[in-house]
Amino acid sequence: MVTMSTSDREALLRALLDTAAELSSLQDVESVLASIARRTRQLVRSDMAYISLNDHSQGTTYIRQSDGVATSAYRSIRMPIGTGILGLVAAGKAPYQTSDYLPDTSVSHIPDIDLIVAEEGVRTIMGVPLLVGGRVMGALMVAERSRRVFSPDEISTVDSLGKHAAVALDNAEEYAQALRDAELLSQKNAQNQQELLSLTEITRFDEQLMRAVLQNPSAERVLEVTAEALMHPVKLLNERGEEVSVMNPGGVAPEPARTANRAQGVTVPVTSGKATLGYLRVECSLSPVHQTLLERAASHCALALLFLQAEEDAQHRAQRDVLDELLQGEDISRTRLDRRLRHWELNSSDQVWVAVISHPFARERELQRQLRQLPGTKLLASVGEDLCAVFTSREWVTSFRAADQISIHSRASYAGPMDSIAELRTFWHRAQTGLSALRYSGEHGIVDADSLGLVAAVVHLAGESEHSELTREISPLVDYDTSRGTSLAQTALTYFDADRRIDRTAEALFMHRNTVRQRLGTITKLLGAGWDCAPRALDVHLSLRAWALST
């Protein structure tokens, strides 16, 4: 053990001053660390000195700079923190030394590292941790190829230089970070102004949308505000991708197309929780800011659609209660009935019609919206598996037929007019018979139940019976027509509809009277005498009407 002399203290002081000068000039950190390793080796007169840095993400410490190390393997040592002398010192607990490393059992060893140490010829190792503000940055180490015990003064010397090494590393990190930050600021400075403008635009857009939804909670109003912001038409699609509405900048609403073309453009889902209510669509590419605006618009559109659904559900419940009460045949006073109907601008003395609509269940909400838009719709609600509509205008039927989206996918039968909605139960049953007849025919669209006559009631009462049961009376005619390619069944039906007059039948069928007589003769042979006289005439005529519905 050697006590530090006056000259050694002066050398240490000069080394510390030189190191401080290097640090103050912010030279390259590698040069500063190499200088510290060199001065440390000189001051303690060791065979070698080296500085390690901790890689906390990997849990290791590795040699960064060295002086006096002979082998590249030693200069490349990477030790787990806490293992070996280097690992123990790098853990930051205290200085540590061993005068004979390889046989020292107080230190945990790694065989591969021991081979490298043996190749370098190292026996004595001493080091101090590099600490700055409680952070362990690495270790400053000295080593000998012979046995040696470093004195407290020598350890103190290494520790003093270690503090400078730690400061050098800390300054280098801060300086490098400052340079990186400056570069980032330089890169972002140009876009900061744009981001500020974008944020202002998004905030203003949010405020406009919120005001729009609060004043008029409709999807169309959201589309209008969004189209103005994007300066491009915005479409609302339903959950199947079909176009519901579209709004151009300036509030112009062109006619919606049937199905959206998704070959280009941007589509954003309109969602509420896990449910998809629809989509917003623009037929062009969008900047990131405008993409954000469209996404914000989708959120507000969802809010508007939820408002609409809540209003529709409340109205549906209220109207269903009224319809249920009327259809149950309860005795309701006119005063009470008028009070309940007043909300829908209807009173008990108004002339009304009733329609029963069969529809695909998945499209019920959409169908209800379309039906409420038809002229004269006053009440609309589910009754059983079908919809029941009460309307006050004959144009309702014409509009129903003209609306392909309704008539193509649904069947409806209407009855009326009735002088008072108090008669609803009777006319609703009549409309149901017409709907049964329409189902029997396999057709879609709308039919006047009164135009079908008694055959509709027969079909309705037959329910799910086989079609052949309803046409059993004329089965010989149907079989004959099928096998011969004739039209005797149509001739017989026309004959009944013409009050069994040969002249009117011939005129309706555009044929000679004698031809009609010949056909009637054939029909008599097939059905037997008396087919056109009571009591069989009613059965035959009903069978012919049922046959006509199914063909």
For every residue of 96-144, DSSP letters joined together read EEESSTTT-TTS---HHHHHHHHHHT--EEEEEEEEETTEEEEEEEEEE
Residue that finishes a domain, picked among 150, 178, 206: 178
User: Are residue 495 and residue 456 in the same domain, yes or no?
Assistant: no
Rounded Cα–Cα distance for residues 261 and 246 (Å): 13
Rounded Cα–Cα distance for residues 467 and 440 (Å): 8
Rounded Cα–Cα distance for residues 488 and 482 (Å): 10
User: Are residue 20 and residue 167 in the same domain, yes or no?
Assistant: yes
- Supply the pLDDT for residue 117: 96
The proportion of the chain whose per-residue pLDDT surpasses 70, expressed as a percent, equals 84
User: Are residue 74 and residue 26 in the same domain, yes or no?
Assistant: yes
Any domain includes 106: yes
User: Are residue 154 and residue 231 in the same domain, yes or no?
Assistant: no
Q: pLDDT at residue 6 above 60? A: no
Residue in the block written with tokens 């199905």:
259
Residue in the block written with tokens 């069928």:
509
Please give the mean pLDDT across all residues of the chain: 82
The structure's pTM equals 0.48
User: Are residue 13 and residue 151 in the same domain, yes or no?
Assistant: yes
Any domain includes 141: yes
| Residues spanned by the domain of 134 | 6-178
User: Are residue 174 and residue 256 in the same domain, yes or no?
Assistant: no
User: Are residue 375 and residue 405 in the same domain, yes or no?
Assistant: yes
Query: How many CB atoms lie under 10 A from the CB of residue 386?
Result: 19
Asked whether 226 and 294 are in contact (CB, 8 A), the reply is yes
What are the tens digits of pLDDT across the range 179-238?
Answer: 677 777 767 665 655 555 567 777 787 788 788 777 777 888 888 888 888 888 999 988
User: How many independent structural domains does the chain possess?
Assistant: 4
Query: How many CB atoms lie under 10 A from the CB of residue 90?
Result: 30
CATH number of the domain that 23 lies in?
Answer: 3.30.450.40
Any domain includes 198: no
Q: pLDDT at residue 90 above 90? A: yes
User: Are residue 294 and residue 408 in the same domain, yes or no?
Assistant: no
User: Are residue 474 and residue 417 in the same domain, yes or no?
Assistant: no
Rounded Cα–Cα distance for residues 72 and 338 (Å): 102
pLDDT-based confidence at 172, cuts 50/70/90?
Answer: confident
